[in-house]
Amino acid sequence: MASRMLKTSVVVTLAFLGVVGRLGAQASPLRLSFADAVSRAAGTAPSVAEASLDLDQADARVREARGAFFPTFGVAGLWVNRSYSSKSFGFSFPTIPGVPAFLPTIIPAFNNYDGRFTATETLLDFSSMGRIRAAHAQVDATDAVRGQVVEGAAQTAGLAYLRAARAGASVAARRADSSIADELVGLAQAQKTAGVSAAIDVTRAETQLAVAEGLLVVALNQDDQAHIDLARALGLDPATPMELTDTLGTTLALVDVPSERDSDVALALANRPDLRAEAARGLAAQRTGSAIAAERLPRVSLEGDYGVNGPTAPSALSTRQISLEVSIPLLDGLRRESQIAEQDAVAQASAVRVGDLRQQIAADVQGALLDLRSAAAEQRIARERLRLAEEELAEARERFAAGVAGNIEVIDAQSNLVQARDADIDARYEAAVGRVTLARAVGVARTLH
């Protein structure tokens, strides 16, 4: 009686989950293939959008650096009312005793109006040229960092899709386990009715059914959690209903890369965005140091203004000025030398990181290839184990139905089949993960399909 109550409660729970699932699925689900997930994440994931904005900032800094060679214009207007004292300029006029002073010490207040248009143009500035080149290198570095973020987003989405596919495969396996357990309960009851089996065989079968249905509940929950994680990886509302169109098979997460280590390493060195980003940072530091050193060179600029000036606005006269300036900085307290030394240290540190990254890339590729070979062997073993477990269960059922054995053998075979199914799912999952890892190691995760 207790076992039947337990079975009834589990069935009610599953029915409730099914109703909730149907209610949540009333909205049209988003049909999503593995390639769609990778493409969507590589294009619209929040981290990718943020990296794109960083690239926009780097482009803006290039335009800012170019502004040093664009002419500047300005307009100014001035009105001043002023009085002067000749003594404030160091002039002291002699006086004759008894004779009134003919030059006043205080010049009475007067107005002055001035309206002026000014323009400045830098003709030659080696330092600004160097800063423009450094800004371009920073753009290259930021663009490579964006590529690194895109690769990471594609990998994250791909792995999330694989986890969701594995959860779906686990749900299917647990449903199959429950179906087999239900059939074995019927078989045990039939054997008991025929008088060839004890009541304990029925109890054992019902216990296995309860266990299978409990595992199905757990699998359904894990499937829902995997869909939430996939939605977050794609930057979607976690409540978005999704329907995965790809299953956890041998053709999931394919990538077009060679299967040889040397070829993959060469491809990775050409494609890995983190390597390009670090190399660009080092180049930017070198160019910044060159720009600072170029501050010692002459700077040539042209400046002019045109306007009107006079004691009253109507009587103001046109005035103008044009000048060519050549400036050569001589000493700035060794500020430039310190900045150059700093940039040299940054460039050298970047070179060290580039060398280490090249070795890390080779290690990543080699490790991914090893994982793929191991996963392929595990798949072969898991398929054979699943085949044998299915045969074992079939033979155990026949022996139990013939009355030559109890259902202990059937229960053991059923447990072995559950484990074999899980091992097969895990092997297929690990193989797909290995393909994603190899694509990330080579730097082509965004091309996964």
Q: What is the pLDDT of residues 108-118, one digit of tens each?
A: 788 889 999 99
Does the pLDDT at position 345 exceed 60?
Answer: yes
Contact 276, 147 (CB under 8 A): yes
Q: What is the pLDDT of residues 29-49, one digit of tens each?
A: 899 999 999 999 999 899 999
Query: What is residue 140's DSSP assignment?
Result: H
Residue 120 in domain: no
Mean pLDDT of the chain: 87
User: In the structure, what pLDDT confidence band is assigned to residue 251 with cuts at 50, 70 and 90?
Assistant: confident
Q: Is the full-model pTM beyond 0.85?
A: no
Residue 104 in domain: no
**What 3-state DSSP class applies to 325?**
strand
Domain region containing 66: 2-20+27-72+125-298+334-447
Does the pLDDT at position 143 exceed 90?
Answer: yes
Does the pLDDT at position 379 exceed 80?
Answer: yes
Tell me how far apart the alpha carbons of residues 79 and 54 are, in angstroms, rounded to a whole number: 46
Angle value at C-alpha 400, between 396 and 404, nearest 5 degrees:
105
The structural domain count of the chain equals 1
Structure tokens at 190: 């039939």
Can you give the pLDDT at residue 89?
A: 66
Residue 139 in domain: yes
CA torsion angle for 140, 146, 148, 154 (degrees, to 10)? -150
Q: Look up the CATH number of the domain holding residue 242.
A: 1.20.1600.10
* β-pairing verdict for 299-310 and 106-125: antiparallel
Residue 326 in domain: no
Tell me how far apart the alpha carbons of residues 139 and 277 are, in angstroms, rounded to a whole number: 10
Does the pLDDT at position 187 exceed 90?
Answer: no
User: In the structure, what pLDDT confidence band is assigned to residue 5 with cuts at 50, 70 and 90?
Assistant: very low
Furthest-apart CA atoms within the chain: distance in Å: 155
Residue 205 in domain: yes
* Burial of 182 (C-beta count, 10 Å sphere; 0-12/13-18/19+): middle
Dihedrals φ, ψ of 20, to 5°? -60, -40
Contact 242, 30 (CB under 8 A): yes
Buried b (16+ CB within 10 A) or exposed e, 288-326: bbbbbbbbeeebeeeeebebeebeeeeebeeeeeeeeee
Which has the minimum average pLDDT: 187-196, 317-326, 421-430, 438-447? 187-196
Nearest-10 crossing angle of helices 46-66, 34-44: 40
Can you give the pLDDT at residue 27?
A: 61
Which has the minimum average pLDDT: 134-143, 163-172, 180-189, 335-344? 180-189
Tell me how far apart the alpha carbons of residues 242 and 228 are, in angstroms, rounded to a whole number: 9
Tell me how far apart the alpha carbons of residues 127 and 3 are, in angstroms, rounded to a whole number: 85
Can you give the pLDDT at residue 37?
A: 93
Say which residue the tokens 């294009």 belong to: 43
Does the pLDDT at position 404 exceed 90?
Answer: no
Q: What percentage of the chain reaches a pLDDT higher than 90? A: 63
The CA distances from residue 250 to 171, 246, 256, 387, 436, in Å, are: 19, 11, 15, 17, 13
**What 3-state DSSP class applies to 299?**
strand
Can you give the pLDDT at residue 145?
A: 93
Average pLDDT over residues 46-54: 93
Which has the minimum average pLDDT: 10-24, 64-78, 118-132, 160-174? 10-24
CA torsion angle for 151, 157, 161, 166 (degrees, to 10)? 80
Does the pLDDT at position 20 exceed 80?
Answer: no
Can you give the pLDDT at residue 100?
A: 56
Average pLDDT over residues 67-82: 91
Average pLDDT over residues 181-198: 83
Residue 328 in domain: no
Q: What percentage of the chain reaches a pLDDT higher than 70? A: 90
Residue 432's Cβ-side half-sphere holds a number of Cα atoms within 13 Å equal to: 27
CA 20 to chain centroid: 34
Structure tokens at 37: 């997930």
Average pLDDT over residues 276-282: 93
Structure tokens at 417: 């089949």
Can you give the pLDDT at residue 93?
A: 62
391/99: higher pLDDT: 391
Does the pLDDT at position 184 exceed 90?
Answer: no
Residue 416 in domain: yes
Tell me how far apart the alpha carbons of residues 140 and 166 are, in angstroms, rounded to a whole number: 39
Can you give the pLDDT at residue 252?
A: 87
